[in-house]
Structure 1
């Protein structure tokens, strides 16, 4: 059974916290010592905002090089429009400051906006009177839909792969995004264990819209280019099981030259693959491949 959205997103941030900071906040990344990181127990956060009795999504303690001491980082994903969200972030911050000010010299609040809408999210709370600023609170933020997906496709960052479908792209680019995600995923297979790979795939599949015909085409292309990896990708595709057409894809791959496969072979030949290489990948006679040149 696939993880619910909030739980899956939280698990992604817990598992790949360093990769998240590296990807979106490189300056902050250079100041953190990840060897000393501790996620605070969720039970400690209950009722931290008083009457709302709300639990913070993620709170961790980490060593900050600039202060030679530990700081707190609060991560808060937000998936829907909330005109009072910036005020809520300030309330969280003030409660954390009240509770931890003697132990930690710095608290860094970060919001991750995952809405499908492209809009400017308010990240500042100010109180002023003439010639005097009483308060200016500003949290760090990531607005995923404003990120250009093409900036991330050459990255080997697991968070970039998992969230690629939440980046900014057009309807016409949707297929390219799906294919690039799978290509990025294959690169990750060389350095991540099965559990982390499955988590990346599970989060990504929360955002990709099912398209059976498109996925069949993509997986055929990938199996021709990476014959040893295609089956492993299917095994780690929770969404394909959920959509109920994993068997259909497998059957399509096993049938010789089907509709569209000849075109794929032609494209591979045009991209420099020799007839012998394509023949070995698709398990067809070289003579049959050469007929398509």
Structure 2
């Protein structure tokens, strides 16, 4: 099943917006008034020439300290390499400015696995003159060394360890440090579940790696060891329960599908099957397909 990267990043950054800004843009953080925050609805833009539609990932309306005017922070997650991305950022900026007529702070988060030098400008110039020099802020996750972030009690840092630069041999240590961060931060269950789900989407240890993780956790200091092990066991149980629920749902669906197909083979109409099974006619038709 494909991963909805944009949805995952939007949910993460929307939940921990201030933590995201302070982690990657501390100078910007000093100027933003985080008491004035509102998340705007998604903007959908149509590229008529390419016949494609693009949806802006995250728009945050806020204020700068000591100023009355509003500003909009636009954060775009880019999960794949796209040579024309700077141009797209400029088009987003132009259309957002046209609609809102407010100062806009454009930020791009590059979250793909390759390491490359991404441009942060879009320029238009001629031999006879310079027309445009559009710049946007960037975060290139794969270039970040994950070990530089493990001492920070920042939930964004914890989740994004899974997208930073690490080697295959560091995966077990990476997850161990992620769990230690979760324990230290003492977040509520909903936020903790969000971070854990994000991390596990991108780093799923093998059975052998999980055994190594448990072994290394057992060598930790007693109090921390108990807390981390409790966290591991808790999420293993939740994963098992979720698997059981999905298995039951799948079994019910397959059983209903066989029943509907049997009724159809006996000559019953879609309408009659719907009346007998309490399904809608559309649901019956989908099962028959």
Give the structure-2-normalised TM-score: 0.74
Choose from 112, 116, 123 the match for 2:120: 123
SS of 1:165's equivalent in the other structure is: helix
- On the 8 A contact 2:121/2:135 being kept in 1, the answer is yes
Q: Does the C-alpha gap of structure 1 residues 238 and 228 become closer, same or farther in structure 2, counting only changes over 3 Å? A: closer
- On the 8 A contact 1:210/1:243 being kept in 2, the answer is no
Residues 1:38 and 2:38 are matched in the alignment: yes
- On the 8 A contact 2:5/2:79 being kept in 1, the answer is no
- On the 8 A contact 1:46/1:55 being kept in 2, the answer is yes
Specify the alignment match of 2:206 in structure 1: 211
In 2, Cα distance between equivalents of 1:48 and 1:59: 18
Moved over 3 A (4+): 1-5, 47-53, 236-244
Listed as ranges, the matches of 1:153-164 within 5 Å are 153-164=150-161
In 2, Cα distance between equivalents of 1:242 and 1:147: 35
- CA shift for structure 1 position 171: 2.6
- CA shift for structure 1 position 5: 3.3
Q: Does the C-alpha gap of structure 1 residues 128 and 240 become closer, same or farther in structure 2, counting only changes over 3 Å? A: same
In 2, Cα distance between equivalents of 1:127 and 1:237: 53
**Larger CA Rg, structure 1 vs 2:** 2
- CA shift for structure 1 position 149: 0.8
Stretches of structure 2 lacking an aligned partner (at least 5 in a row): 244-289
Listed as ranges, the matches of 1:194-209 within 5 Å are 194-209=189-204
- On the 8 A contact 2:109/2:140 being kept in 1, the answer is yes
Residues 1:47 and 2:42 are matched in the alignment: no
Specify the alignment match of 1:59 in structure 2: 59
- On the 8 A contact 2:172/2:212 being kept in 1, the answer is no
Stretches of structure 1 lacking an aligned partner (at least 5 in a row): 245-293
Q: Does the C-alpha gap of structure 1 residues 48 and 2 become closer, same or farther in structure 2, counting only changes over 3 Å? A: closer
Would you tell me which structure has more helix in proportion to its own residues? Answer: 2
Residues 1:16 and 2:28 are matched in the alignment: no
Q: 1:222-247, CA deviations, whole angstroms, 9 ceiling, x for partnerless residues?
A: 35642244223332359964997xxx
In 1, Cα distance between equivalents of 2:31 and 2:80: 31
- On the 8 A contact 1:3/1:202 being kept in 2, the answer is no
- On the 8 A contact 1:49/1:92 being kept in 2, the answer is no
Specify the alignment match of 2:143 in structure 1: 146
In 1, Cα distance between equivalents of 2:75 and 2:230: 36
SS of 1:178's equivalent in the other structure is: helix
Residues 1:172 and 2:169 are matched in the alignment: yes
- CA shift for structure 1 position 63: 0.8
Specify the alignment match of 2:77 in structure 1: 77
- CA shift for structure 1 position 49: 5.6
In 2, Cα distance between equivalents of 1:49 and 1:84: 13
Residues 1:135 and 2:132 are matched in the alignment: yes
Greater CA drift, 131-140 or 220-229 = 220-229
- CA shift for structure 1 position 155: 0.6
User: Which structure carries more relative contact order (alpha carbon 8 Å, separation 6+)?
Assistant: 1
Greater CA drift, 222-231 or 235-244 = 235-244
- On the 8 A contact 1:2/1:238 being kept in 2, the answer is no
In 1, Cα distance between equivalents of 2:240 and 2:150: 26
In 2, Cα distance between equivalents of 1:108 and 1:40: 14
RMSD: 2.6
In 1, Cα distance between equivalents of 2:27 and 2:207: 41
